Amino acid sequence: MAIFNYEALKNGNERVSGNIEADSDKEARELLRKQNLVPLKLYEKGAVKNAVKKSTVKKKPAKKVKIKKLNMREKIDFTNIMYTFSKAGISLVESLYFIEINAESKNIQNISVEIRRKILSGSSLSDALSSFPSIFDDIYIGLIKAGEESGELEETLKRLSYLLEKQDKLASKVISTLAYPVFVIFLAMVVTILLLTFVFPAFKGMYEQLGEDLPLITQIFMSTGIFLKKYWYLIPLIFLSFFAFVYFIFTWEVSRRIMDKIGLQIPVFERFLRYTSISNFIIVLRVAFEAGIPLVDSLLFANFTVKNVILREALRKVVIEVQYGTSLSASLKSSKVLPGIVMCMIATGEESGFLTEMLRQTSDYIDDQIDRVVDLLSKLFEPFLFLVIGGIVLTLGLSLYLPLFQTYANIG
């Protein structure tokens, strides 16, 4: 048996110290937990002198930890670890300490350090998380707060883990669907720039020998090619300007609204946009409602996840109508956002009192529909891209050979 000195937390805020006999560090921690103490520091009594000596050394001020934004995978890992420790009966402070020491991601370690400090100073977990709004959004914090108030933090962490996993899978589907066409279009742009820069200027001397006026399209491409060859260092700037313009179009409120409206009018792609928006909406609504958050607040949380401006505004009216006493199914029906079969499932759940279960089935149904739409879009993208690339090649080829055809026609 060894004697361990300890510092621990009593009743969540009172620091106590003492010593305890145990065979190992692990057993000492278990004995402290049985006394309703949360161990903060634990070391064998023989190490006390060394600890005292070290304490007499002037300590350097602690460096301020730089907190970076967690990516989705890191946020899922953090939530999963917290849930696992909570399920095992390990206290919140000790769980964060274990994460701080053992997490593979330095970013997760840093955020665990800061959250643990705030909790030790008297903050609740939801208050500590709210100090990092760029990392934990209102939905995450709201669900944690509801779990703390209801005494079901463990179950709430489980729901959050499920929610983040579903959102990550949905984001992966969206990226995988759009990555291929975006890559092909980008590749077509690069090839076009290379042809204009190196191929068209090579034909300049031959066209001058023909002594004919060049067709307008050939003149445009030839002038562009000569300019790019002369000022080749502007090519990266052109690409950067293009990407900056695309980013501006997708983020500016006015253009975003126009694009969202146009997107909902394109056959098949409209279903993709609608179902991906609905999927996030239903998942968050179900998880929040299941956590005991009132329906109106659950709808507000769910509405935060809808990125399409047109659909978000329609669903915002649903929140207002429900707040004034209209049933959920009637409000959603008037919004004309959800498909008929989804409306039927929600109405059935609302009338039978099993809304949570029906939202679960609705979520599964929408996931199936997304898979089908993704498969259909993947098949439609191939001929569409073939037409785009074929059009580019045809235009460039004609602009190169039209002067030759024109000369042969004049000779004839």
Question: Looking at beta carbons, which pairs linking 272-277 to residues 24 or more positions away fall under 8 Å?
Answer: 272/177, 272/370, 272/373, 272/374, 272/377, 273/308, 273/311, 274/308, 274/311, 274/337, 275/366, 275/369, 275/370, 275/373, 276/170, 276/173, 276/174, 276/370, 277/305, 277/306, 277/307, 277/308, 277/311
Q: Which SS3 state, helix, strand or coil, does residue 19 take?
A: strand
The whole-model pTM stands at: 0.69
In whole numbers, what is the pLDDT of the chain averaged over residues?
Answer: 82
Looking at residue 66, what is its pLDDT?
A: 67
Compute the distance between CA of residue 104 and CA of residue 81 in angstroms, rounded to an integer: 12
> Given pLDDT bands bounded at 50, 70 and 90, which one contains residue 50?
very low
pLDDT at 58: 44
Digit-coded pLDDT (tens) for 55-113: 444 444 445 566 777 888 888 888 888 888 888 777 788 888 888 887 777 888 888 88
397 vs 195, 199, 203, 215, CA distance in Å?
10, 11, 12, 13
| pLDDT-based confidence at residue 244 (cuts at 50, 70, 90) | very high
| pLDDT at 51 (0 to 100) | 42
pLDDT tens for 269-293 read 888 888 888 888 888 888 888 888 8
Averaged pLDDT, 161-167: 87
* Residue spans per domain, the chain: 2-55, 72-136, 152-412
What's the pLDDT at 362? 87
Which helix (H) or strand (E) segment is 183 a member of?
A: helix 153-194
For the chain, report the end-to-end CA distance as a whole number of angstroms: 109
Q: Are 81 and 99 in contact (CB under 8 A)?
A: yes
pLDDT band at 9 (very low <50, low <70, confident <90, very high): low
Helix and strand tally (H, E) in the chain? Answer: 18, 3
